[in-house]
Amino acid sequence: MHFAESDLVSTATANLSLTWTIVSLIYLAAAAGFVMGLHLMRSPKTARKGNLLSAFGMACAVIATVVMLYLGKDIGDVAFHVTGWAWIAIGSGALVGGLAGLISARKVQMTDMPQLVSIFNAVGGGAAALVAVVDFMTRIRANEAISLQVSIPVGLDILIGTVTFSGSIIAAGKLQGIVSGAPITFFGSRILLLLSAVGGIGGIVWLAASPGYLPLIVVAVAAFAFGILMVLPIGGADMPVVVSLLNAFTGLAVGMAGFVVDNTILIVAGALVGASGSILTKLMADAMNRSIMSIMVGGYGTGDSGAPTGPDASGGAVHVIGAEDVAIQLAYANTVIIVPGYGLAAAQAQRECGELGKLLEAHGVTVSYAIHPVAGRMPGHMNVLLAEADVPYPLLKEMDEINGEFDSCDVALVIGANDVTNPAARRPGNAISGMPILNVDHARSIVVMKRSLGHGYAGLDNELYTDPKTGMFLSDAKKGLSELLQVIGGYFQ
C-alpha cells in the first residue's frame, strides 16, 4: 500500500507502522483462510465450512482495513487529506453494493446461477479497473513521477478489468436470453475486435511512455469494446467456458491491482482466482473436446454450423410414446439411469425429477443420475440443481464413472439433454465430433423427454432420437414428470 508506507509513516509516528504491521498480519491470515477454504472444497462434506472460513478471512481483512483507515485519519497525515465525502463515498458504495449482492444472492433461482456468477464477476473486474483509475488520478494530482512499475500494472489492471466487466455483462445477457445466444457477427466486427486489441495494447505502451489521462481513456475504451466484441460472436453453449475464463481474468486484474497498490492480499487472492479460473476453463474445454482458442474465436453453436442434414428433425423414424408407456417401462425396470440436461433446469423440474427417483427407489428400482461435465449451463450446475431437489450426491455419477453402466441398464431416461447424448459425436465431420458423450444409446431401452424435436445448442440432429430403442415422450419436463409421478404412484398403491 503505497501511501501508508511511504507517505504516512514518514510523517507520522511508529504508532502507524505498528498498525500497519498488525493489518499486514491480518491480511496474511486472511490469505491463508482463502487457501484453506478452497482446500476444504475438495469434498461436499467440508465444502460449506471452507466457504465460511474464506468469508471469515475476508471479513477480517475488510474490518482491519476500515479500522486502519480510521486510525490513519486520526494520526493526521499530510500526504492527502481525508474528506468526509470520501468516507461517504466508500461507505454508501459498500452499503448499496453489499445490499444488492445480498438480495440477488438470496433471491436467485438455482437455474439462473451462471448469470449471477457472471454479474458478480463483472462487478469484480469493474472494481479492479476503478481502483487502478483512482490510484492513477491520485498520483497525477500529487504530481508524482510515475514509473513503469506503476504505469504497467495500472494499464494492465484497467485493460483486463474492463474487458472482464463488459465481456461478463454480455455473457450474462446471453445466458439470460437478453442478448441472443446465437453467435453475433456483423460486417467488420472482426476488424473492430482486432483494432480494439491493438488500441488496448497500444494504449498501455503510450501510458508507459507518457503517463496521462488520455492514454488511460484509450485503454479503457478499447478494452470495453474488446470485451463486447469478444463475447458477442461466441455461441450460448460456450458461455460457461467464457464465464470461467473471465473469472480467471478478474483474478489477474485483482492481482494487478495488488501490484499497483503494493498490497499482498490482493496479489495472493488474485493469483489464486487466476489459477482456479484457468484450470476450470481448461477442464470445461476438455469436456467439450474443444480448445480454448477455438471457443474464443467463436462462431460455434446455434445457427452457424451450416444446415443440418441427415435424419430430419420433424418426424422421420421417430417413435413417439405417451406417459403410460414410459411409466410402465420405469416401474418394471431393475435399473434406471436418469440423464438430466438443461431442459430439466429450464423447466424448473428438478424437484419432480428427484421425487420420481425417490419413488422408483422406494419400490426397488436402482436409480442413478448420469451427469455430463457440462450438463446445465456451467460445470457442476446440474449437481447443484439436483442437490436443491434433495437428491443425495452419492447418486450423482460423473460421466467416466457411469458410462460403463449403461450397457446393463434397463431404461435410460433422458430429460431435456441433447447434444451430450448424441452418438454422432463418435464420428468425425460434424459440429460435436469428438465431444465426450454419455453412452445413453447402450441402454436396453431409452426414453427421451423433450419439449419438441428441435435442435440442441450445436444445431445438430440427434441420432439417438431415431434409434429404434428410443421412445420420444414429447412434453415439458415439469409437466411430463408430474404425469409420470401420478401414473407410477397409481401402480404402486
Does position 93 interact with another protein (CB under 8 A)? The reply is yes
Q: Considering beta carbons, is residue 249 or 300 the nearer one to another protein?
A: 249
Does position 402 interact with another protein (CB under 8 A)? The reply is no
Q: Considering beta carbons, is residue 52 or 320 the nearer one to another protein?
A: 52
Residue 34, classified by CB atoms within 10 Å of its CB into exposed (0-12), middle (13-18) or buried (19+), is buried
**The only residue of 304, 388, 410, 476 in contact with another protein, by rule CB under 8 A:** 388
Integer Cα distance of 100 and 398 in angstroms: 35
Those residues whose C-beta lies under 8 Å from the C-beta of residue 474, and which sit 6 or more positions away, are 320, 450, 451, 452, 453
- Sole residue written with cell 460445470: 379
Does position 17 interact with another protein (CB under 8 A)? The reply is no
Q: Considering beta carbons, is residue 153 or 235 the nearer one to another protein?
A: 153
Does position 361 interact with another protein (CB under 8 A)? The reply is yes
Does position 12 interact with another protein (CB under 8 A)? The reply is no
Hey, which bits of 77-160 come out as E strands?
Answer: none
Look up 419 and say whether it is catalytic: yes
Integer Cα distance of 280 and 286 in angstroms: 10
**The only residue of 78, 100, 178, 214 in contact with another protein, by rule CB under 8 A:** 100
**The only residue of 21, 74, 294, 363 in contact with another protein, by rule CB under 8 A:** 363
How many chain residues bind another protein (CB under 8 A)?
A: 128
Does position 124 interact with another protein (CB under 8 A)? The reply is yes
Does position 112 interact with another protein (CB under 8 A)? The reply is no
Helices 381-388/350-362 angle, 10° precision: 70
Q: Considering beta carbons, is residue 147 or 408 the nearer one to another protein?
A: 147
Those residues whose C-beta lies under 8 Å from the C-beta of residue 196, and which sit 6 or more positions away, are 222, 223, 225, 226, 229
Integer Cα distance of 277 and 37 in angstroms: 16
Helices 148-176/113-141 angle, 10° precision: 150
Note whether 330 and 298 are within 8 A (CB). no
**The only residue of 186, 332, 393, 491 in contact with another protein, by rule CB under 8 A:** 393
Q: Considering beta carbons, is residue 167 or 471 the nearer one to another protein?
A: 167
**The only residue of 384, 442, 444, 478 in contact with another protein, by rule CB under 8 A:** 384
CA dihedral sign of residues 260, 265, 268, 274 = negative
Which one of the spans 195-203, 224-232, 355-363, 435-443 is the region binding another protein (CB under 8 A)? 355-363
CB of 440 to another protein, least distance (A): 19
Q: Considering beta carbons, is residue 62 or 297 the nearer one to another protein?
A: 62
Integer Cα distance of 322 and 327 in angstroms: 9
CB of 116 to another protein, least distance (A): 6
CB of 8 to another protein, least distance (A): 11
Note whether 171 and 243 are within 8 A (CB). yes
343-355 burial, b for 16+ CB within 10 Å, e for fewer?
Answer: bbbbbebbbbbbb
CB of 454 to another protein, least distance (A): 26
Note whether 286 and 241 are within 8 A (CB). no
CB of 181 to another protein, least distance (A): 20
Which of positions 227-266 make contact with another protein (CB under 8 A)? 243-244, 247, 250-251, 254-255, 257-259, 261-266
Does position 436 interact with another protein (CB under 8 A)? The reply is no
Which one of the spans 81-89, 203-211, 289-297, 472-480 is the region binding another protein (CB under 8 A)? 81-89
Does position 58 interact with another protein (CB under 8 A)? The reply is yes
Note whether 370 and 296 are within 8 A (CB). no
Which of positions 144-203 make contact with another protein (CB under 8 A)? 149
Does position 50 interact with another protein (CB under 8 A)? The reply is yes
Q: Considering beta carbons, is residue 173 or 233 the nearer one to another protein?
A: 173
Does position 222 interact with another protein (CB under 8 A)? The reply is no
Does position 274 interact with another protein (CB under 8 A)? The reply is yes
What is the radius of gyration, based on Cα positions, of the chain?
Answer: 27
What secondary structure letter does DSSP report for 146?
Answer: P
Does position 135 interact with another protein (CB under 8 A)? The reply is yes
Q: Considering beta carbons, is residue 187 or 400 the nearer one to another protein?
A: 400
- State the cell numbers at 269: 487472492
Integer Cα distance of 165 and 119 in angstroms: 8
User: CA torsion angle for 448, 450, 452, 454 (degrees, to 10)?
Assistant: -80
> Catalytic residue among 419, 441, 461, 467, which?
419
Does position 127 interact with another protein (CB under 8 A)? The reply is yes
- State the cell numbers at 1: 500500500
CB of 24 to another protein, least distance (A): 12
Nearest to 86 by CA among 72, 99, 98: 72
Active site residues: 419
